Structures are given as structure tokens and as C-alpha cells.
Amino acid sequence: VGLVAADPRVLALAAQVTESREQDIPLLLLKLKGILSSTSLGSEESKKIKQDIYSYDLTQYCMLVLRQDHFRLHGGWATAAQLAEILSHCCVGLEVKEDPEEFHKKFLPSAIDNLLVLGRRLQARFIRAIKDEEKQDFLRWFQTVTDAICWLLGGHIQLAACVLQNDHFLQLLITDDVETAILMMSVLHSILKVNSSVLLQVDEETLHCVLDELVYKLSSTTNPVIGNAATKLLLVVAKFCKQLVKLLTTRYKGLKGLLTKQWTGKGFDRDLSQLLDLLFLEQSSGKGEMQRQHQAACIIQAMWRGFQTRKRLKKLPQAVTTLQRSFRAKREQELQHLKKQKEDEALKLQMELQRQRAMRLFHERQLALLKIIHASQVDKYMEEMEGKSALTIQRFWRGYRARRNFHQQRQSLKEYKAAVLIQRAVCTFLEKRRKRRSLSPWKDPKGLTDEQRLALQQKVDDYIKLHPASQMSEERSKELHMQAQEKLAQFLMRSRLDQRAAQRRETLLAQVNTDVELLMNAPGLAETTEKDLDVFTSRSVPVATKARQSHNTMLKYTHWPWWKKLGDEFMEDDVIPDDDLNAELGTLFIGGRK
């Protein structure tokens, strides 16, 4: 379109938009509504004006304004809704002669996307609004945007698939608000009315999303307006294609019952009965096929059950044999258990009888001794027996107390041992690193200039001149050499002795740790075996001999009569005089546990 042939109003408006500030452009674009309404729809003059508007990029300006933040616009959401209406009217009836492919494949889809985004924003504001006036305004503007979308779809049928596959359209449709849901279902009805084959053009996921939402609205609400709109949409879908009716009957098996029970007598029975007739017709046509499939499934199941039964009968003898074997094994195990239980009871009874017999013999022997002993010696004998009994009780009590204290201190001993091991390892590591560390070689100071180096050298020379080295005679040098050799020999000898002493200390520590482990893990006297005795036997013959002598002396001391122990009342528990034992008992280990 040349500048001479352009409409003067469009040309003047384009000049104003070009020269104006950004915030003033939306209000200038609203003048397009008056220019478009000045001509009749479908006339040549109207087409000429729309071509001029598109040629001077005024429609692009409308799209750019719709993408902006509408809080900064003069008039806010009302201006945005009017611009959406103007954009749809400019695109319908427009015949683009230069680069029509860009207009149909890029511009129109972008316009649809912007209109849907604006619709989502208005829907969100409407749902969040509290005042009734605000809700009415947002609903009116939302309806203006949906009308613009329907008007644009009426002029460009190919945009129907683009609208259905748009994520914003699906989000607008999936809402629980009644007013906006009714408007969006009217948009969907307009899409199906304009292009009834659009449901076969979209992908399967989009089709399922739309149908799922319609069925959900029927099942989740009791509003008759929502139910009427959803029923009409499903009726349009069912009338269009048999394949979609089959999809409705197979994917939503309870749809017929839902429609019959929940929506009968709600004011749209005519559409409802038509939809139910289509669904029942599809079900009756597919009933024969279902019967054949059911009969075939029954035959397959009968053959499979017969095969499984024959297979089980073949394995029956083996199963019976296995069952008998397991039964006999279980019965044998129970008999063994009963036999062992009887043997244990018989052994317990026999031990009880032996204990009673031994006690009876002991008492008879005591009575016999009392008969033999003179009457004057009975009290003395009874005192001796009481003393022995008291000593036995004390000995067992002290042993029990010592074992209990040892078990209570076992954890602290383990912690002490662990600390010693860690300290030894750390000391060994530090010693090795100290030995391996070598003196770092001398490095020249970095960063010295030639002048600084000369100054330092001059200072060194001056110091050498002021402090000359003393002269030493050859005899003095030899004497100093001999002294150094003697000190070196003494140091080497002392270091060798220290090393041997350290090795001996480590050996003794290892032996002590081994003995402590043996002591901590020693079994009780009731559980001791010959192998345990070998473990606690000393490897040194003199030590073993001395220990045996000390043990015999201790036994003799414990069997002394009471009158030989007079004067020992103030001695500590379990302490035997050194004159009697004459043994180093501190080096003997007495292990065991309770």
C-alpha cells in the first residue's frame, strides 16, 4: 500500500504512535476502534483500512502492548481488553498480499497466545477479587477477551487446532470457578462449531485432557448451567465422529450412569437424551463383538485350567512322597525332643537324689564324729567348723566382689588400653617423621637487588676484619679431635643402651598388654578347660615353681586352725604374712569372671 493511497486517519495515527512516548501509545491505539467502526463489515473500504493498519505495524503495536504490564497502562485492564478486541477485528477480513505466510504462521499464532495469556491474568484477578464491583469488572473484561478470541477463530478457521493445543487454553478450561468456566466452554463450543474436525487434528493427549475436564465437570458439580454446557459439548463431539463416541464409552465407563442419575430433569433433557442414545447405540453395536471376545476368553481359560490340573495330577505322587517324608522327619524330631526332655528330667532327679544322699551321709558322719569326740571338745569342734564355714563364705564373697569390680572397670581398662595404643602410634609416627626430616638447603634471599647484595657483602667483610679468627696449633687440633671422638663414642654407646632399654620396655609393655587381655577374657572357674590352664601357665620354669610353692603355702595358711591365726584380726583381707608365703604374689594373675 503506497503512502498516497493510505487512509489519512491511519497515516496520522501511525505518525502519532511513532512520535509519542511509550506510555501514551495504548491510548492512541484505542482510536483504531473508531476508525474500524466508521465502515461497514466486509466492505472494500473496511478491507483497505485493515491493510493500512497492518502495513503501518499498528497491529504489531497492539500485540506488544498486550504483552506489557497492564498496571502501567492508562486505563489498566479495561484498555487491555479493548486492545484485544481491536486486534481481533483488525485480523479478521484482512488480506495480506506481501508475505502472507508470515502473517498466517507467525503473527496469528502469536496473537492467539497473547490473547490467552491476557485471559489467564484476568481470570486470576477475578478469582482473587473480593469486592463485587471488581469481580463484575474483571468478568466483563474477561468476556471481552473471550469474544475477541471467538471472533478471531471465526475469521481464521486454521487457528482452532492452535488454540486447543495451547497450554494457556487448557489452564483456562481447568478451573473450578463457575462464571469463567461457562465462558471458556462457550469458547470451546465456538471452536467445535467453526471447525468440527479439529479434535481429530490435535494429538491424543490434548483430546484426552479436554474430554477428561468435561467429564470431571459433570461429576464434580451440581450446577445445571455447567452441566448443560458440558452436555452440549459432549453431544457435539459425539455427533461429529463415531470414533469419539467409542472413546467416550471405553474411556469413561460410568458416564451413562452418571448422566442418567445426576442430570436427568435439570432442564436440558433433550440434549441429554440425544447424548445417551448415541452412547447406548455404540454400546449395543459393540455388544456382539464383546460377546465373541468373552466366549473366546472363556475357552482359553478352560484350556489353561485343564492343562494346569493335568500337570498337578502328574506331580501328585511326588508331592505325597515329599509330604510323608517331611511328616516322618517332623515326628522323629518330636520324639527325639521328648526323649531328650525325659533324659534331662531323669538326670535332674538322679542328681537331686545324689545330693540328698550326700547330705544324709554328711550329717551321719557329723553325728558319728560328735559321738566320738569328748564332750569337752564339742564346743571347740563346733567353733572350728563355724570358723571354716565363715572363711569359706568370706572367700567366696570376696571373690565375687573382686570379679564384679573388675567387670565394672573393664570398660575403663579398654579405654585406657586404646589411649595407650593411640599414644604409642602417634609417638612412633612423630619419631619417624623427625628422623626423616632433612635440613632444607640454603636458598639465596629472593628479591635482593645488586646494590643490596653488595652492601651485605661489605658488612660481612667489615665484621671479618673486626673479628679475625684465632689461630690454633696442630697439637691443640689433635687434642680437640680426640675429645670429639671420645664424646662421639660415648654418645653412640649411650644411644645403643637407650635403644636396648626402649626395646625392653616395649617388650614388657606388650607382655603386660597380653596378660591384661588374657585376664579380661578369662573364663569362669566353672567353664575352665585344660587349654585355658595352659594359657595361664608361665613359660619360665623357676617362676612356675615359685608360684606353685606360693600357692601351696597359701592353701596351708587357709587350712590353719583358728588359734594359729590369733593376732591377725587387724590385717587386711586376704593378706598372708610374707614370712609364711615368702613369694612375690604381685606378679601372679588370678583371672576369671562371675
CATH number at residue 36: 1.25.10
Q: Which domain holds residue 28?
A: 8-202
For 528-542, the DSSP string reads --HHHHHHHS-S-HH
Vertex 212, ends 211 and 217: CA angle to 5°?
Answer: 100
Backbone phi, then psi, for 396, in 5-degree steps?
Answer: -65, -40
Q: What is the pLDDT of residue 594?
A: 32
319 is a domain residue: no
224 in the same domain as 198: no
Q: What is the pLDDT of residue 289?
A: 63
87 in the same domain as 224: no
231 in the same domain as 146: no
267 is a domain residue: yes
Answer with the one of 144, 169, 202 that is the final residue of a domain.
202
114 in the same domain as 53: yes
Q: What is the pLDDT of residue 264?
A: 81
237 in the same domain as 160: no
Q: What is the pLDDT of residue 304?
A: 93
Grid coordinates belonging to 65? 502492548
57 in the same domain as 137: yes
188 in the same domain as 147: yes
222 is a domain residue: yes
Residue 241 DSSP label: -
Q: What is the pLDDT of residue 77?
A: 81
pTM: 0.46
Q: What is the pLDDT of residue 11?
A: 78
SS3 content of the chain, % helix, strand, coil (to 5): 80, 0, 20
Grid coordinates belonging to 15? 505518525
262 is a domain residue: yes
292 is a domain residue: no
46 in the same domain as 102: yes
Grid coordinates belonging to 112? 492467539
583 is a domain residue: no
CA atoms within 13 A on the CB side of 403: 15
444 is a domain residue: no
Q: What is the pLDDT of residue 588?
A: 41
Q: What is the pLDDT of residue 581?
A: 44
- Alpha-carbon distances, residue 463 vs 449, 450, 452, 453, 456 (angstroms): 22, 20, 17, 16, 11
Q: What is the pLDDT of residue 354?
A: 92
Answer with the one of 268, 283, 298 that is the final residue of a domain.
283
Q: Which amino acid is it at 397?
A: W
464-484 burial, b at 16+ Cβ within 10 Å, e below that, comes to eeeeeeeeeeeeeeeeeeeee
225 in the same domain as 182: no
| 173 Cβ neighbours under 8 A, 6+ residues apart | 181, 184, 185, 188, 210, 213
Mean pLDDT, 10 residues at a time, over the chain (594 residues)?
Answer: 61 78 76 77 76 77 74 73 82 77 81 84 85 85 86 81 82 83 85 79 82 82 84 81 75 78 80 79 61 82 90 84 90 93 93 91 82 77 86 92 87 89 93 75 63 89 81 82 91 92 90 81 76 70 80 83 64 50 42 37
230 in the same domain as 92: no
272 in the same domain as 130: no
Domain count, the chain: 2
63 in the same domain as 149: yes
Answer with the one of 202, 232, 260 that is the final residue of a domain.
202
In 3D, which of 289, 290, 291, 263 has the Cα closest to residue 276?
A: 263
| 583 Cβ neighbours under 8 A, 6+ residues apart | 546, 547, 549, 550, 553
Vertex 166, ends 160 and 170: CA angle to 5°?
Answer: 100
